[in-house]
Amino acid sequence: METVVSGIRSTGKLHLGNYFGAVKNFVKMQHDNNCYFFIADYHSLTTHPKPEDLQRNVRQVLVEYLAAGIDPEVSTLYIQSDLPEVAELYLLLNMNAYVGELERSTSFKDKIREQKDNVNAGLLTYPVLMAADIIIHKAHKVPVGKDQEQHLEMTRTFSNRFNRMYEVEFFPEPVAYNFGESLIKIPGLDGSMKMGKSESGNNAIYLSDSPEIISKKVMRAVTDAGPTEMNQKMPQEIENLFVIMKSVSSNDMVEHFQNLYNRCEIRYGDFKKQLAEDVIKFTEPLREKILELSADDTYLKKVVKMGAEKARESGRKTVSEVREIIGFNPR
């Protein structure tokens, strides 16, 4: 059984894009792999969140991933800061990470443009902390998006460099976990290719959104004036809505509206009303589970404690062995 490690952002609620993109695959792969899922609260410190915001966000993320199907009895679900050994491994790896290679990181270049008044050392060494998160459990595979591929490559660099420097075969070389055709990309309601945060707040449908909010968002979704020729190619914003419908509606319903579009008979008001109803029906059990878990502090504390214990059992062993390899006295 292979070890798989994946980080979970500690900010932002789960939306349909997250759910169909990664979370459904996490739920499946946890039964076939030794999975570690961590909520990356250390990483969030690069934006200097307020303590109350940090705690609220971590709790929200924990609740929503549990509601989506992550099983803490099957996989290891933990909060990053509950594994202090990762901070020690981060420090040790930093000694073998070079400023030049960190400055060439695409994400670092993007971040210093986005937050010019807060270019902190954490942004520069972000790939090192990410590497520590992965190799502390000697991961074989890591589910990564396109924007994280460079970080995974840097993780392999740091792992191999450690092995060469100390003449050991200690850290495996992690590779990307490929979801293949099972990875569904959900576009946004505003015509963009990706569902996610937006200034208007109307691009994403969150799993915790109420039926009223979902209806308003879908009815405000971007559309055009309608088709003018039989079987004409759909503009991007209309194709986006059909992609969402294919994810939550029956095949017959999708085919019905596609035929109306091809015959130039579609009424977008009716189409979006049906889409909203189907999204509400699809998200209802998830929304109810989120509400149920949010009210159960005892269970959430149990999950956090269990996850921390399981993660530390793995992390302590790795760091103890790393210290011995480097030459520190055994604890």
194 is catalytic: yes
User: In which element (H, E) is residue 7 found?
Assistant: strand 3-9
Exposure on the CB side of residue 170, measured as CA atoms within 13 A: 23
Reduced to 3 states (helix: H, G, I; strand: E, B; else coil), residue 139 is coil
71 contacts 306 by C-beta, under 8 angstroms: no
- The residue from 197, 216, 301, 302 that is catalytic is 197
User: In which element (H, E) is residue 79 found?
Assistant: strand 76-79
Q: Which residues of 140-157 are buried (b: 16+ CB within 10 A; e: fewer)?
A: bbbbbeeebebbbebbbb
Phi first, then psi, for residue 172 (nearest 5°) are -70, 165
197 is catalytic: yes
Tokens of residue 162, six digits:
């450690």
Phi first, then psi, for residue 268 (nearest 5°) are -60, -30
13 is catalytic: no
Nearest to 23 by CA among 54, 59, 67: 67
- The residue from 28, 109, 194, 216 that is catalytic is 194
Say which residues have a Cβ less than 8 Å from residue 246's Cβ, sequence separation at least 6. Answer: 254
Phi first, then psi, for residue 219 (nearest 5°) are -65, -25
Q: In what order do the strands lie in the sheet with 34-40?
A: 76-79, 34-40, 3-9, 141-142, 175-176
SS3 per-residue string spanning 220-246: CCCCCCCCCCCCCCCCHHHHHHHHHHH
**What is the 8-class DSSP label of residue 14?**
-
- The residue from 111, 141, 217, 272 that is catalytic is 111
**Residues labelled as active-site residues:** 111, 194, 197
